[in-house]
Amino acid sequence: MTYAVLAGLGTGLSLIVVIGAQNALVLRQGVLRQQVVAIVAICAVSDALLIALGVGGVGTVLTAWPPALTAVRWFGAAFLIGYGVLAVRRMLRPTALRVGGAASAAIVTCLALTWLNPHVYLDTVVLLGTASTSFGGDRWWFGLGAMAGSVLWFTALGFGARRLSGVFTRPSAWRVLDGVVAVVVTATGVSLALG
């Protein structure tokens, strides 16, 4: 049991600690200190649900129905490329750290980056679900370890980003962050579109 939990934790962290669209949004909201609790909760709960589906065997069903994966891939690609364009616009017109903003926009964006991104399904439902099968009866312990990794990562990223808020009082710092976000999400969107 302990080995399965630790293996799940390590495997989950190795998949999630990658700069991607979802992590970039969590970092941005953490620096802004806006809707951090909601954003972290959405990411962690969504991952937990998707990991549970994967450990429960849904990954095999999804891979058996290619039209569903194709539809999610195209919606995800369009959304990510659009989000990348918005990041480029912010990069071209940077502002200093500002508090406030529409909570609903950040939450909707977080939900979309989570549920419309096929990479999230690949990592949680397919890869972690498949990896859990090697633990037999302890596969749910493996899943719980992976879920714990997700909670730890998003909490550390969202609340740890606050330490960077001093740096982001300068518009040039936002230009760099938005440039990185634009490259990451646009590249992810293009890679999805190209299949």
pTM assigned to the model = 0.74
**Torsions phi, psi of 122, nearest 5?**
-60, -45
146 vs 8: CA distance, rounded Å: 4
Digit-coded pLDDT (tens) for 170-181: 778 778 877 877
Helix 139-160, helix 36-55: angle, nearest 10: 160
Contact 110, 39 (CB under 8 A): yes
Digit-coded pLDDT (tens) for 99-134: 445 678 889 989 988 888 777 887 888 778 888 888
Domain extents in the chain? 2-194
Digit-coded pLDDT (tens) for 45-73: 999 999 999 899 876 666 677 776 677 67
74 vs 193: CA distance, rounded Å: 6
